[in-house]
A and B are shown apart, each in its own frame.
Chain A
Amino acid sequence: MNIVDILISPEGLGLVFLVVFLGSMIVFAVAGKNRPGQNLRGIVAFSRLGKAVGLAVEAGKRLHISLGWGGVSGMQGISGLLGLSVVERIARLASISDRPPVVSSGEGTLGILSQDTLSKTYRTIGEARQYDSGQGRVSGLTPFSYAAGVLPNIYDEQVSATVLAGHFGSEVALIADASERTDGLTLAGSDSIQAQAVMVAAAQEPLIGEELYAAGAYVNAGPLHASSLRAQDIFRWVLVVIILVGAALKLVGLI
């Protein structure tokens, strides 16, 4: 099999897609180096999150981040890994608080990574004493036991805002409801369609579709977060055009 055969195979096209996507991310990152945060449309959820962090620090309350039970492998793992970027930023912003943020997860690997992220963040900002491994918790290992395990975190630990960023199912409504009952802000995003549908009803600030993946850009997690948003926008339009052209060709019987 020569290189051309490989490139025109479905796997090869996938590779080309990834390379072009990565290339555009890097190009946009270099081009937008001196303009961080520019061209980002306003998402109310993220501006409320910024305020919630400030209020929590002032009021001596805690922030709670829930990473779901998706683990780190496969499609559903990515949203949890993205949640870790949010953990890192929130831990930095709330580092002066008396009550450091607490992170809950429903899978062992995510639990370890959440502890590692918190530890690394506190070390980086010279606040290593703030870290306690109990701040990164595994709350349960099945979806419902996880939800049940998260509820005491919200009810008993003076949590003023809960961020749900990861893979969940419909049980996320129980977590969002607990946050509502304690008058806390609930910002919720997931890769799961089922969870997103539930979040629209149950969370104060639901993140729909790819909005969760924009979190890094809005919390200033790095230049590649903003540039990857631009790449996503462009590739979305490309895919929309391909779908429409495909539908039109099918309609006229050409394919």
Chain B
Amino acid sequence: MKIPVAAAIAIAFGLVVLAGYFLPLPELVSLRTILVQWSMIIASTALFVGVANLLRVHWFKLRKGGTASAYSFLLIASLLVTLVVVGLYGPTGSWSLWIFNSIQFPIESSLMAILAVVLIYSAARLMRRRMDLFSLLFGMAVLLVLLGSAPIFGIEIPFLYGPDGLRSLIVQIPAVAGARGILLGVALGTIATGLRILIGADRPYGG
């Protein structure tokens, strides 16, 4: 089987980094550290490529016209203005921080607020779409945890609220047990995927 050069390099570097984690040989550990540092630098460079890609996609959308092109114009203008401001004043400059605190942070907080509404709507839609035992359990658990999270108009619901309430019981025992079970599966899946990439069966890096 012919192994492309990119795949051979990726497999070799992957094996060196993995061996550096498990075998306490000083040369291997220092080589691993260097390779990981290189990967950090490459990832940082990829960030610039990502920004350039974002700019390119929205430039084409802007040229295509239509109602959505206004958003693309706004994105490109914001990107360029931010680039100039941060370039002139530095990332901790007062104008740079103003952009972050007065524009980006409020916008992302608004999205967070919208998210709360979307989640409630989604939970209601789930009941309509898939009314089975698991959906009912899901709905009941959400309702109990929500009602037990804070007093409603200053009234604490007995058995629900507080450290010994039903809410704490749900959150601390079945929820944690379920989450650990899921994490166990995720960890095994992660190992399997990592090993497939390491031996070159999956090649997300070209080659």
Contact = CB atoms under 8 A, between A and B. Distances in A.
B206 A116 contact: yes
A171 B54 CA distance: 20
A136 B206 CA distance: 14
B108 A142 contact: yes
B84 interface: no
A108 B49 contact: yes
A221 to B, nearest CB: 7
A108 B43 CA distance: 7
A5 B186 CA distance: 30
A117 B206 CA distance: 7
A177 B119 CA distance: 9
B53 A137 contact: yes
A173 B206 CA distance: 31
A86 to B, nearest CB: 11
Interface residues of B, number: 61
A170 to B, nearest CB: 6
A100 interface: no
B129 interface: yes
Contacts of A64: none
Interface in B163-207: 179, 181-186, 188-197, 199, 201-202, 204-206
A107 B50 contact: yes
Contacts of B50: 107-109, 111-112, 138, 141
Interface stretch (A54-62, A90-98, A145-153): A145-153
B143 to A, nearest CB: 13
B24 A1 contact: yes
B159 interface: no
B22 A236 contact: no
B153 interface: no
A210 B185 contact: yes
A122 to B, nearest CB: 13
Contact of B188 (A117, A204, A235): A235
B122 A117 contact: no
Contacts of B115: 170-171, 173-174
Interface in B89-142: 107-108, 111-112, 114-115, 118-119, 121-123, 125-126, 129, 138
B8 to A, nearest CB: 16
B129 A204 contact: yes
Given A1-B24, A112-B49, A139 B54 contact: yes
Contact of B195 (A22, A115, A222): A22
Contacts of A228: 192-193, 195-196
Contact of B111 (A1, A174, A208, A213): A174
A216 interface: yes
Nearest to B75: A149
Nearest to A140: B54
A134 B57 contact: yes
A219 interface: no
A214 B205 CA distance: 20
Contacts of B114: 174
B204 A113 contact: yes
Nearest to B40: A73
A148 B119 CA distance: 16
Interface string A155-183: 01000000000000011011011001000
A231 B192 contact: yes
Contacts of B118: 173-174, 177, 202
A85 B201 CA distance: 11
The 8 closest A-B pairs by CB, nearest first: A213-B189, A108-B50, A108-B46, A210-B185, A228-B192, A138-B50, A209-B185, A202-B122
30 contacts: A14-B21, A18-B18, A25-B192, A78-B190, A78-B194, A81-B193, A84-B202, A84-B204, A107-B46, A108-B45, A108-B51, A108-B53, A111-B50, A120-B206, A133-B53, A141-B50, A141-B51, A144-B107, A144-B112, A152-B71, A171-B115, A176-B122, A177-B118, A191-B190, A196-B182, A200-B126, A201-B119, A209-B185, A228-B196, A239-B184
